[in-house]
Amino acid sequence: MIYKFDFLIIGGGVAGMSYALKVANSGKGKVALVCKTTLDETNTSKAQGGIASVTNLKVDNFDKHIEDTMIAGDFISDRKAVEHVVRNAPEAINDLLQWGVNFDKKEDGSFDLHREGGHSEFRILHHADDTGYEIQRGLMAAVKANKNITIFENHYAVEIITQHHLGVEVTRKTPDIECYGAYILNPDTQKIDTFLSRVTLMATGGTGAVYATTSNPNIATGDGIAMVYRAKGTVKDMEFVQFHPTVLYNPTETHPAFLITEALRGYGGILRLPDGEEFMQKYDKRLSLAPRDIVARAIDREMKIHGLNHVCLDVTHKDAEETKRQFPNIYAKCLSIGIDMTRQYIPVCPSAHYMCGGIKVNLNGESSIKRLYAVGECSCTGLHGGNRLASNSLIEAVVYAKSAAEHSIKTIDNYTYNMHVPEWNDEGTMSNEEKVLIAQDEREVGQIMSNYVGIVRSNLRLHRAWKRLDLLYEETEELFKRVKPTRDICELRNMINVGYLITRQAIERKESRGLHYTIDYPKHAYDKK
C-alpha cells in the first residue's frame, strides 16, 4: 500500500503533536501522525515535574534562565539554541494553553511555580505531579479534533526513504541526501507500507530502553536516531545520557521504573542513606538540589561505597496533607508498595532518563538530510549541552516544533512526491526460536549499557561494550536480512545502533564533561592541570 501525505510525522508526543497542530491548519496539505503504539503512550506522558518558562517577571528574567541552562549544560550548550528556547518559551506556554492544557494556579490566578535542581528561581509550571500526562491529554484532544490530521496508531516506522532506496550509493560524504518519506509496518496486514511525503518530521523520543533500568516506557528504543544514522544523517552528543537521580527502587518495575520527580526535592525532600545520614554536603553546596549529573554520581558512589541497591528520599518533615495534595500520584504509588511517604523514607536509585544528544538540527529543526526535521528528545538542538536542566525538555519540544512548522510551511511548495520509490521487499519468515533470541539479545543490550556505559565510565568498560555490541550487530543484521521484519527485530536493530553511538561518542570524548564522567580522565575539562 502506498500513502501520500504532505507532512509525515513519526512520533506522537509533545513534539510530534505540537508540530502537527501548527501545520495542519496551514492550508499546505494533509498530515499523517504515525504512532508506534497508542497515541497516549509516550515519554511525554511520563514526565512529572513540569515545564520551564520565565513567567514571574517580578523576580525572574530570561538572562537568569539562560545562565542556569548554560551552567547545567557544563558550558558546551549552543548559546543561540538556549536563547531561542528561553526567549520563545512564554509564547510556547500560551500555545499549550490555547490547545487546552491546564497548569496549576494560585488563588490570585498566577501560576503556582515550582523550583527544581539547577534553577535559580521558581519557574516550573506544573499540573500536580503529572504535568506530562496533562500536556499529552490536552494535545491529544486537539489533534483528534483536527480533520486535517490522520492518526496511525500501532504503526511502526522501519526506515526513512532516501536516494539509497532508488539504487544510489549514499555515504556520510554524499551531499544533498533527501528524505522522501518512510517505510512503515502496518499492524493489520503485517506488511510494510510506503508513506510518501513532501516533508517528514522525526519525533520519536528518547533512548532509555537501551538500559536495564529506565524511567522511560519500553518504546523508548531510539528508533528515530537509529533510522537517521543508518540514512547517513548527522548524530551528535550521544555520550550525554542523563540518569535521573531518583526513580522508585522496585526490582519488579524497570521499564519504566516509576519516576520520583525532582520537584519533590525542590519541595524540601532530603537525600539520605537508609540509616538517616545525609550525604549530599560531601558533593555540592546546593545539596539535594544540585544538577542531575552531580546528584546521580553522588548517589551512585554512595551505593557502591556502602554496598546498597538504593538510597532514600525523605519528606517526612514536611506537612503530610500538603505532601499528599502536591504529589498525589507519587503518594499513591508509594502506598501501593507499602510505603507511606509522609512517615517513611522513599527508596530511590538512579535510572536512565533522558538523551541530551540525538539528530543534529539547526534553529529551524532541520536535520542534515533535506526535507527531514527532528524535534524533541530525538533531536540535538544544542540546548542541553553536557547535561539537561530540569524541565527544559518539554519547552524545547514546543518551541522547536513551532520553528520547524514555520520553516516547513514556507518551504514545502519546493518539494514534490518522489513516485520512483520502490515498495518494500518483505520476503522471509520468523520462527519462535528467533523470537526468543531477539528477546534475549534485547536484555543483553540493556546489561551491556548499564554495566559498561552507565553513570561512571572507563576506557576498559567502553571498549568491552563496543566489542559486545559489535557481535550483536553482526548477528542481528544477518537475521534482519532473511526474516520478515517485525517490530521486535526492528527495535533490537535500533537499540544496538543507539548503544553503539553512545559508546563510540563516549570513547571519542577524552575528558569528563557534563553527564560523561570517566575515571580515565577524572579532571574536569577546564580544571587546572
Residue pLDDT, tens place only, 369-381: 999 999 999 999 9
Instruction: Using DSSP bridges, classify how beta strands 241-248 and 346-355 pair: parallel, antiparallel or unpaired.
Output: antiparallel
Please say if the pLDDT value at position 254 is more than 90: no
Give residue 176's Cα distance to chain centre.
28
The single-letter DSSP state of residue 345 is P
**Can you read off the three cell numbers belonging to residue 504?**
563510540
* Angstrom distance (rounded) from CA 426 to CA 419: 20
- The pLDDT tens digits of the residues spanning 304-326 come to 899 999 999 999 999 999 999 99
**What per-residue string of b and e applies to 331-361 under the rule 16 or more CB within 10 Å gives b?**
bebbeeeebebbeebbbbbbbbbbbbbbbbb
pLDDT of residue 294: 85
DSSP secondary structure, 120-137, as one string: SS--EE-STT-HHHHHHH
Of 116 and 398, the structure prediction assigns the larger pLDDT to: 398
Q: Within 10 Å of residue 69's Cβ, how many Cβ atoms? A: 26
pTM, to two decimals: 0.91
Known catalytic residue at 371: no
**What homologous superfamily does CATH list for 2-239+356-414?**
FAD/NAD(P)-binding domain (3.50.50.60)
Average pLDDT over residues 402-409: 98
Q: Which fold has domain 246-351?
A: Flavocytochrome C3; Chain A, domain 1 (3.90.700)
Per-residue pLDDT for 39 more than 90? no
Give which of 103, 87, 93, 96 is closest to 21, Cα–Cα. 96
* C-beta of residue 453 within 8 angstroms of C-beta of residue 506: yes
Percent helix, strand, coil in the chain (nearest 5)? Answer: 40, 20, 45
Q: What is the DSSP letter of 36?
A: S
**Given 292, 388, 457, 461, the catalytic residue:** 292
Mean pLDDT of the chain: 93
**Residue 255 grid coordinates:** 521499564
Q: Are strands 149-152 and 31-34 parallel, antiparallel or unpaired?
A: parallel
Q: Is the pLDDT confidence value at 478 over 50?
A: yes
Task: Please compute the mean of the pLDDT values over residues 196-212 and round it to a whole number.
Answer: 96
CA 461 to chain centre: 24
State pLDDT tens for residues 222-244.
Answer: 999 999 999 999 999 999 999 98
Q: What percent of the chain has pLDDT over 70?
A: 97
Beta strand 311-314 with 346-355: parallel, antiparallel or unpaired? antiparallel
pLDDT at 42 over 80: no
List the domain boundaries for the chain: 2-239+356-414, 246-351, 432-518
Q: What is the mean pLDDT of residues 61-88?
A: 96
d(CA 290, CA 296): 10
High-pLDDT (> 90) share of the chain, %: 81
Amino acid at 381: T
pLDDT score for 529: 45
Nearest to 372 by CA among 2, 9, 4, 5: 9
| C-alpha span between 209 and 353 (Å, rounded) | 9
Q: How far apart are CA 268 and CA 288, in angstroms?
A: 9
Class of domain 432-518: mainly alpha
Confidence of residue 527 (pLDDT cuts 50, 70, 90): low
| pLDDT value for 308 | 93
